[in-house]
Amino acid sequence: MVSVTRAVFGDLPSGAGTVEKFQLQSDVLKVDIISWGCTITALEVKDRQGRASDVVLGFAELEGYLQKQPYFGAVVGRVANRIAKGTFTVDGKEYKLAVNNGPNSLHGGVRGFDKVVWTPQVLSNGVQFSRISPDGEEGYPGELKVWVTYTLDGGELMVNYRAQASQTTPVNLTNHSYFNLAGQGSPNIYDHEVTIEADAFLPVDETLIPTGTAFQNGWQLPLCTAMMEEFTCLALFQPRANLQEPRFHWTLNTDQKCMSMWLHSETSPKSFGHLEVPPLCCWACQESTA
């Protein structure tokens, strides 16, 4: 049984509109999502003792999301990650995008999908958000209709992305949540472990653009040595790992339309015990039609 509640989260400056919050709750999981950027603001799960704690980073008030921050919990797009030098070519025509990350375009540009109010529709077990990205928004060609649907089923939170373009355009949507699986109050994530089902990784250059050379995984590597020199917040704004180089990109191999990921902090001495029984399962599904 899933309950869905709706409330006002805050008002945008200068009368630009109202941001709503939608809370989806089952017996074991509760998630708060706002219409500003389809953003997950809280995700509460129970530990083995039945205690609940929020395991994602975010803000309690709208003002935090309106300031410069590392895309906490938001849907980013049209294209997640970086486009080198803010340019690409489609059907022989070059398009120039808004540049917002050094020489590159990051997560859709200056005003990406994370910085707009989406139109919500309440479902029996979740909420669907939609918007129309007009032709030329942040430099991208064609009108793009987008739907992002969050649904809850017991301990599973599922996210479905669907897009329909009026002409050929790159689309790559994702949710940009930051997890601290030990729960609120835990000072860092250094005791977390992650397992990646991948055969290779892509090193990147000094601006975090993949170099195009895939290194095969045939030896043991320290996959999760976090680097925090440039950042003081708990979340890593630019996550890194100590492989062959100080920065890298990984790819999850799958032949399925959906990706599922189980997360846990079983070995943390201060672990809140989240997600081990049962683990948190996050699904991401993408469909794109032109």
pTM for the predicted model, two decimal places:
0.77
Residue 219 covered by a domain? no
**For residue 100, is it within any domain?**
no
Of 38, 31, 37, the closest CA to residue 56 belongs to 31
CATH number at residue 15: 2.70.98.10
Question: DSSP string spanning 140-154?
Answer: --S-EEEEEEEEEET
Q: Let me know: does 22 contact 4? Beta carbons within 8 Å.
A: yes
Structural domain harbouring 161: 3-76+112-184+269-289
**Inside any domain, residue 284:** yes
CA-to-CA separations, 214 to 112, 196, 200, 204, 248, in angstroms, rounded: 29, 15, 6, 10, 10
Residue 275 lies in a domain: yes
| Residue 107 maps to a domain | no
Q: Look at residue 20 and tell me if it is in a domain.
A: yes
Alpha-carbon span 158 to 142, nearest angstrom: 28
Burial class from Cβ neighbours inside 10 Å (0-12, 13-18, 19+) for residue 162 reads middle
How many residues in the chain? Answer: 290
**Residue 14, both tokens:** 């200068």
Total Cβ atoms within 10 A of residue 221: 15
Within a domain: 216: no
| Count of domains observed in the chain | 1
User: Cβ(86)–Cβ(97) under 8 Å?
Assistant: yes
What does the pLDDT look like over 31-84, one tens digit per residue? 999 999 999 999 999 888 888 999 999 999 999 999 999 999 999 999 999 999
Inside any domain, residue 101: no
The token duo for 2 is: 């899933």
Q: What is the mean pLDDT of each run of 10 residues along the chain (290 residues)?
A: 97 97 96 99 91 94 97 98 97 97 98 98 98 98 99 95 98 96 86 82 89 61 36 34 43 53 47 44 47
- Spatial separation of the C-alpha atoms in residues 279 and 287, rounded to whole Å: 26
